[in-house]
Structure 1
Amino acid sequence: MSIQNKVIISAALTGAMTPKDANENIPLTPEEIAQDAYLCWKAGAAAVHLHMRDDEGLGTMDPAKFAKTIELIRAYDDCDVVINCTTSGDHRANDDQRMEAVRTVDGIEIASYDAGSFNWMPGGIFANSPKFLGELGEAMIDRGVKPEVEIFDAGMLGVADYFVGEGKIKAPVHYQLCLGVLGAMPATVENLLYLQSKLPKGSTWSAFGIGRAHMPILYTTLALGGHIRVGLEDNIYFSKGVKASNEQLVKRAADAIRVFGKETASSSEARAILSLNPLKR
């Protein structure tokens, strides 16, 4: 089967906020996150999206925790999963702290690039200033890290286009369409269709819906030819009232891909699709 028929599953393992009280399967420590990353890779995830938690379980941008988690993942000799790290894992962090892991930690292949600011209801402003985005793009180019351009609202597509034009983001661009955050675009099929129709030719893209919108967005993404993100960062339930694990969510996504007549991409195939360098150990 050709690489054009391959679908990348990315597993977003923990996020920055949801506590274990909500779902005991949420990994918090580097050891738990690394183990979940390995299980998800075995289940069909080509990539893992990593947030870190501090000792109180809150999101942190501590580069030492990123480095430790990546080290533990790579300690699995057979695991070549693509490493994707957040740059927005702690609302308390300043711009320099948000970029520190990208600038200093080895092994990060992709990192989130949130292409704009909005009111993340009801908590506060999710701020991504033009100055920050320009500097983040430069840091990623310097380190050979591919931006995962996260789009929460339609206007962010124009912001991404601007930074491509400025040479701060290299084409081909990979977009992550993030739907269902209160304060940004609702997770509807119509909104996904609109965003996908506006993406530049030659780009790659993935999408997810928060909570109960998880499955409708997953199926629509498959129908439109995109890639898939699943995981406890976005959705803690397998079905109504039934708590999920990251591994379960990946397995269900892999099943859906096969039923649709496609195949899950391996990590090496994902690197080819996303124009990443081959893994060096």
Structure 2
Amino acid sequence: MNTDVFITCAVTGAGDTVDKSEHVPVTPAEIAAAAIEAAKAGAAIAHIHVRDPATGKGSRDPRLYAEVVERVRSSGVDVVLNLTAGMGGDLVLGGTERPLPLDATGTDMAGATERLVHVEHLLPEICTLDCGSMNFAAGGDYVMTNTPDMLRAMARRIRAAGVRPELEVFDFGHMVMVKDLIAEGLIEQPVMIQLCMGIPYGAPDDPATLMALVAQLPPGAVFSAFSIGRMQLPYVAMAALAGGNVRVGLEDNLFLSRGVKATNAALVERAVRILEAMNVRILGPAAVREKLKLVKRW
């Protein structure tokens, strides 16, 4: 069990959730405000996606990231920023009989440099690196696509920028990729891993699967674990019991309880309550920076 836990709040994500809850932040001002409120509630890290303000759809526009980061950094509220680098790996085939040409409305494939423009410009303390490809929760003909060479190229750029990658693991094969990146000298210590559980069609969120993934962690790795939907809050306790840290937020779950829509701050507050009831100490941003050897540049 981990008795010194940090909380990450994933405040918006890129999924089609805007129409499902009025609390999902869309504009840069709303996303920054959600990150600040989560920090005040006890989150040490804010995991940031951005959305097109006009459509609410996920975006990778560097200008939107810049506005969010500037608003958070100028707020006077301390929080570790973790920017996604997952956008740009979306592949949607044209159908079961004619997979090519690709579905242009859903496909968004970008090179390593383009996927990291906002990271290299804004220099957050952390950015994500999805460590493999998979048939993702959207189903249909969508594939989250991250080839080994793409991941190596992105890892090199992230390391050169002095940013700590959060290695996103959705299934067991992704852990193999993590170990390859480490063995090739592309990931510096301490290694930071996020176990992403319960996402169709990745690793299920049952305790046995979680502990099997934990058993495969590289030595000395700092990890968090989360699940989506109704299992998000039970995973607060489960992640700590497994020796890890915690992630909550509207990217992964819209409800505080049955029929009660959540806010990011409310989810963090509930996570704090669960952990404190377990006699767990909640780590703040300064302790997280020390633990993960992060570089704060503002």
TM-score by length of 1: 0.94
Q: Deviations over 1:154-175 (max 9, x none)?
A: 1111111111111111122110
Alpha-carbon distance between aligned partners in 1 of 2:206 and 2:115, rounded to the nearest angstrom: 30
RMSD, matched Cα: 1.4
Aligned counterpart for 1:197 among listed residues 215, 222, 229: 215
1:22 has 2:20 as partner: yes
2:126 aligned partner, one-letter code = I
- Give the CA deviation at 1:100: 1.7
Q: Deviations over 1:76-108 (max 9, x none)?
A: 12x1200001011353241243222122x2241
Aligned counterpart for 1:88 among listed residues 86, 89, 109: 86
Alpha-carbon distance between aligned partners in 2 of 1:107 and 1:135, rounded to the nearest angstrom: 17
2:28 aligned partner, one-letter code = P
The answer to whether the 8 A contact 1:14-1:50 is kept is yes
Quote the residue 1:101 is aligned against. 118
2:115 aligned partner, one-letter code = R
1:181 has 2:185 as partner: no
Deviating runs (4+, > 6 A) in structure 1? none
Quote the residue 1:110 is aligned against. 126
Single out whichever of 186-195 and 7-16 deviates more from structure 2. Answer: 186-195
Aligned counterpart for 1:34 among listed residues 29, 32, 35: 32
- Give the CA deviation at 1:257: 1.2
- Give the CA deviation at 1:222: 1.3
Alignment of 1:143-158 (within 5 A): 143-158=161-176
- The structure whose Rg is larger is 2
- Consecutive unaligned residues in structure 2, runs of 5 or more: 91-107
- Consecutive unaligned residues in structure 1, runs of 5 or more: none
The answer to whether the 8 A contact 2:123-2:161 is kept is no
Quote the residue 1:70 is aligned against. 69
Single out whichever of 38-47 and 216-225 deviates more from structure 2. Answer: 216-225
Quote the residue 2:97 is aligned against. none
- Give the CA deviation at 1:280: 3.7
Alpha-carbon distance between aligned partners in 2 of 1:234 and 1:168, rounded to the nearest angstrom: 29
| Local SS of the residue matching 1:225 | coil
Q: Deviations over 1:92-140 (max 9, x none)?
A: 241243222122x224111111111111140411100112101110111
Q: Deviations over 1:168-187 (max 9, x none)?
A: 11122110000111111111
Quote the residue 2:60 is aligned against. 61
| Local SS of the residue matching 1:16 | coil
Aligned counterpart for 2:285 among listed residues 267, 275, 280: 267
1:164 has 2:182 as partner: yes
Alpha-carbon distance between aligned partners in 1 of 2:261 and 2:282, rounded to the nearest angstrom: 24
Quote the residue 2:42 is aligned against. 44
The answer to whether the 8 A contact 2:8-2:44 is kept is yes
The answer to whether the 8 A contact 1:84-1:109 is kept is yes
- Give the CA deviation at 1:275: 1.8
Aligned counterpart for 2:144 among listed residues 117, 120, 126: 126
The answer to whether the 8 A contact 1:189-1:216 is kept is no
| Local SS of the residue matching 1:49 | strand
Alpha-carbon distance between aligned partners in 1 of 2:79 and 2:151, rounded to the nearest angstrom: 27
The answer to whether the 8 A contact 1:7-1:265 is kept is yes
1:47 aligned partner, one-letter code = I
The answer to whether the 8 A contact 2:13-2:49 is kept is yes
| Local SS of the residue matching 2:124 | coil
Alpha-carbon distance between aligned partners in 2 of 1:139 and 1:107, rounded to the nearest angstrom: 12
- Give the CA deviation at 1:214: 1.1
- Give the CA deviation at 1:274: 1.4
TM-score by length of 2: 0.89
Alpha-carbon distance between aligned partners in 1 of 2:269 and 2:109, rounded to the nearest angstrom: 34
The answer to whether the 8 A contact 2:236-2:275 is kept is no
